[in-house]
Homo-oligomer: A and B are copies of this chain.
């Protein structure tokens, strides 16, 4: 950490800050520049709150040298983390495709779609039983009944289940049925939920918040890991920008960047990112080409009857085309 002092800071003030930093376990080295005096801190500064330092009126700014995440950092864990789910491995160069409806709507709907995506080569089944919806008047999911249907689909197709856990109240019931706990974008900084997920050993699919920086995203993974659960799978799903022709802006740069900074696997959700079925296949190709460890894709056999997110759901044959394209890209890199 580097502390930049304002010009003309009295030496006594500088000494005071120096001593305080030393009392927090850091060594301090002073560099007198042309206008600004700089204090360089040596030691583990991850627990020092820059805001506290910045509260001093003589401090111009505080620059961080270390990244604030540790367990999620590749610096301290150079090898790729591989999360195992049944016979599938996520991370380390494998490409996993998770597919299914946005929400579980009925037995007939879920079983139909599960069979279709299985036939086209999907590895796991997605489907929401508890749905976070912007409007209280929208369909909120089937709840535990939906979970039971997911279990049934798993029994028939053999595909592991990925479903969202929205709050502490229903955590245990979701954990009982699912293979991967999905934490949605809106809950990426629901710290109570992150801690709870960290206390079990189940794989957690953590989606990037709509306006979360990559640093905050990795800090949320750190929350889970710091409670003892190393099985975190990251998911880029689009960030909020000024563009309105797409629902969100899929940030594919995040994939190679996170691969540099972290050892955790990262998959991509092009369905939520764009909100538009016609863009899902091209962006799936791009996601695999950029190095993602997998995809999570919404598929519906009757999108215009879907109770949520119909506009972004692929029809079966289009999903088949996507699987084919993705395999070709995957083979070529």
Chain B proximity mask over A200-229: 1 for CB below 8 Å, otherwise 0: 000000000011011110010011001100
When C-beta atoms are compared, the residue in chain B nearest to A311 turns out to be: B54
B2 touching A36 by the CB < 8 A rule?
no
Q: Which residues on the B side are within 8 Å of A240 (C-beta)? A: 211, 242
Q: How far is the CA of A53 from the CA of B219 in the complex (A)?
A: 28
Interface of chain A residues 168 through 220 with chain B (CB within 8 A): 168-170, 186-187, 189-193, 195, 210-211, 213-216, 219
Proximity string of chain A (274-309) to chain B, C-beta cutoff 8 Å, 1 when within and 0 when not: 111111001101111111000000001001111111
Tell me the smallest distance from the CB of A305 to a CB of chain B, in Å. 7
Give the residues in chain B near A42, CB-CB below 8 Å: 31-34
Give Cα A195 to B33, complex, Å. 31
Interchain CA distance A97-B242 in the complex, whole Å: 29
Which of B214, B286, B310 is in CB contact (< 8 Å) with A286?
A: B286
Chain B residues near A252: list those with CB within 8 A: 250, 252, 283, 286
Q: How large is the interface on A (under 10, 10 to 19, 20 to 34, 35 or more residues)?
A: 35 or more
Distance in angstroms from A5 CB to nearest chain B CB is: 10
The reply to whether A55 and B256 contact each other, CB–CB distance below 8 Å, is no
Secondary structure of the A contact surface, majority rule: mixed
Residues of chain B within 8 A of A246, CB atoms compared: 253, 257
Within 8 A of B (CB), among A246-282: 246, 249-257, 260-261, 273-279, 282
Q: Do the beta carbons of A304 and B56 come within 8 Å of each other?
A: yes
Q: Which 9 A-B pairs have the closest CB atoms?
A: A211-B211, A55-B310, A167-B192, A54-B311, A289-B289, A55-B303, A286-B290, A286-B286, A332-B332
A-B contact pairs, 15 of them (CB 8 A): A2-B2, A34-B66, A51-B306, A51-B311, A68-B134, A133-B191, A134-B216, A167-B167, A170-B192, A214-B245, A241-B251, A242-B242, A250-B252, A256-B279, A289-B290
Apart from A38-B40, A51-B306, A256-B283: 17 A-B pairs, beta carbons within 8 A: A34-B44, A49-B307, A51-B308, A51-B309, A51-B310, A63-B63, A168-B168, A170-B192, A186-B191, A242-B242, A250-B251, A250-B253, A282-B291, A283-B290, A286-B289, A329-B332, A329-B333
